[in-house]
Structure 1
Amino acid sequence: MTTINLFLLVTALASGLIAGLFYSYSCSVNPGLGALPDANYLAAMQSINRAILNPVFFFSFMGTVLLLPLSTYQHFGTGRFYWLLAASLVYLVGTFGVTAMGNVPLNEALAKTDLAHATAKELAAHRLRFEMPWNRLHAIRTYASVLSFALVILACINPFDK
């Protein structure tokens, strides 16, 4: 195993982990949370949004932001380059960009919401402003991260030929 292939393996691992996280969230967490009453839904989302900010998550989410372009650069001039370039662009725009410009601002607005002192009508309004836009953005980043991961896998099985 060469250093360049080991680096590509770590890139594939990180991108696969984040794709799996977003996919599993879409299949289980979102439907489960969607069934909760407004106050419980909003409280659960506040808790999840705090809990996910940890080193394990950052390894896959931010690590992929760094690893994909670096791995792409390492494979310039090879049969893997364009697969990795596509994976990088899809991830940077569709996963990282959507999260940073869409999901995170929604999470930050929700974090500032005082649920304990909100009326039922206010809770319903907060949920309406949050849930549908957040889920729509989450779907985009999920598709993007899965596509990016698939592109990395295609790079892995493509001959190196340098």
Structure 2
Amino acid sequence: MGFYQIIQIIAVSLTGLAAGLFYSYACSVTGGLGKLSDREYLMAFQSINNVILNAWFFTSFMGSLVVLPAVTWFSYNAGINFSFWLFLSATVIYVVGVFGVTIFGNVPLNNMLESTNLNTASLQELFSLRERFEASWNKLNLIRTIAAVVSFIIAVIASILK
């Protein structure tokens, strides 16, 4: 097994881990949180946002952002073929649909939530904050979930092509 195959495995694995994380949020975490009261929901989300910023998350989330373009470059240097175009597609989908949506969509919403002192907010303020946060955050998470899963599937296909 050569370097190119190893970097393919790393790219596929990291992208799969990111896709799995966003998928698990979409099919369980957001639904469970949605059943909480406004204060409980917002406090739980603040807690999750603080905990998720860790080495495990950044390894898959940022690692895919680095390794997918790298494997695309190595594929390009090996000769432009269908595998190259698939890796390029997986990279673009990940960069735009996962990283871009997260940085320009989910993170600003998370920052809005983080800047609020939930302990002193009135019930109306909590309701209003949740109204501005929940549906938008869930929609953006669904977009990045689909993008991550599609990017992962395309990278798997590109890796098994000769």
Q: What are the Cα deviations for residues 101-157 of structure 1, in whole angstroms up to 9, with x where unaligned?
A: 000000011001110001111100000010011001001000000000000011111
Amino acid at match of 2:132: R
SS of the aligned residue for 2:119 comes to helix
Inter-partner Cα distance in structure 2 for 1:13 and 1:153? 9
Q: Which residue number corresponds to residue 40 of structure 2?
A: 40
Could you tell me which residue of structure 2 aligns to residue 146 of structure 1? 149
Q: Take 2:56 and 2:74, find their aligned partners in 1: how far apart are those partners? A: 25
Q: How does 1:1-162 map to 2 (within 5 A)?
A: 1-76=1-76, 77=79, 78-159=81-162
- Superposed CA deviations along residues 7-49 of structure 1, whole A, max 9, x for unmatched, are 1000000000000000011111010000000000000000000
> Which amino acid is 1:91 matched to?
Y
- The residue type paired with residue 138 of structure 2 is N
SS at match of 1:80: helix
Structure 1's consecutive aligned runs of 4 or more residues displaced over 4 angstroms after TM superposition are none
Q: Which letter does structure 1 place at the counterpart of 2:13?
A: L
Q: Percent identity?
A: 48
Aligned residues between the structures = 159
Taking the aligned partners of 1:156 and 1:4, their CA distance within structure 2 comes to 10
Provide the TM-score with structure 2 as the length reference: 0.97
RMSD between aligned residues: 0.6
Task: Give the Cα–Cα distance (whole angstroms) in 2 for the partners of residues 64 and 140 of structure 1.
Answer: 17
**TM-score scaled to structure 1, two decimals?**
0.97
Q: CA deviation at 1:80?
A: 1.4
Instruction: Return 5+ residue gaps in structure 1 as ranges.
Output: none
